[in-house]
Chains A and B, each alone.
Chain A
Amino acid sequence: GAVVSQHPSWVICKSGTSVKIECRSLDFQATTMFWYRQFPKQSLMLMATSNEGSKATYEQGVEKDKFLINHASLTLSTLTVTSAHPEDSSFYICSAIQGAGQPQHFGDGTRLSIL
């Protein structure tokens, strides 16, 4: 149980386009979802915390207008990278929890490459 699915797993697109990444909790309802970014040979960096039906809370230094997060239901959150540029190329990972104090369950990540 506690499976989190991310889609797509890999995307390559041209500079200036917008890219949407989906994160779904398949077998549980997620009260909170999280979005992370990971650069090569580095650790995961928390970008934002998303609660269903409310605005996401972004970490310091993360541009909310560039990384749009929508959490429309208890099983789906989306991250849209707007007007993507090569420096946005990274590994984006989502996670979800069923409730406070519960472990985060992670998706398998989306590798984004901007040409």
Chain B
Amino acid sequence: DAKTTQPPSMDCAEGRAANLPCNHSTISGNEYVYWYRQIHSQGPQYIIHGLKNNETNEMASLIITEDRKSSTLILPHATLRDTAVYYCISTGTGNQFYFGTGTSLTVIP
């Protein structure tokens, strides 16, 4: 079963930062937090992942709270192409992903 909860939908104005929250209150010490997105009829695309520290790459930033019970994915300057369903997943040593329902992000012109 999925161990994360996310709001079902969000809107963001084009050019503004999109902040997508995720709760993973039952996460254990060795479980990573992964973020993926899925555009209709395609496979999920990897965005970023982290364990304890905040992470940044060319796509996004990941902010993990100190107690690791929640995280926020930040898309710094949202574009129309960022409209997708965003999934937050926590996984342990078995590497299995149990997807939740995700957040449907709509970037508005």
User: Is chain A's binding surface mostly helix, strand, loop or mixed?
Assistant: strand
Interface size class of B (residues with CB under 8 A): 20 to 34
Q: Which chain A residue shows the least CB distance to B32?
A: A101
Interface size class for chain A? 20 to 34
CA distance A91 to B39 in the complex (A): 13
Total A-B residue contacts, Cβ distance less than 8 Å: 57
Residue in A6, A32, A43, A107 whose beta carbon sits within 8 Å of that of B95 in the complex: A32
Q: Which A residues between 1 and 46 are near B, CB-CB below 8 angstroms?
A: 4, 6, 32, 34, 36, 43-46
Q: Which of B95, B98, B99 contacts A101 (CB 8 A)?
A: B95
Q: How far is the CB of A72 from chain B (nearest CB, A)?
A: 20
Identify the closest chain A residue to B89 (Cβ).
A104
> How many angstroms between the C-alpha atoms of A67 and B6 in the bound complex?
31
CA distance A29 to B97 in the complex (A): 19
User: What is the distance, in angstroms, from A65's C-beta to the closest C-beta of chain B?
Assistant: 22
B residues at A contact (CB < 8 Å): 2, 32, 34, 36, 38, 41-46, 49, 87, 93-102
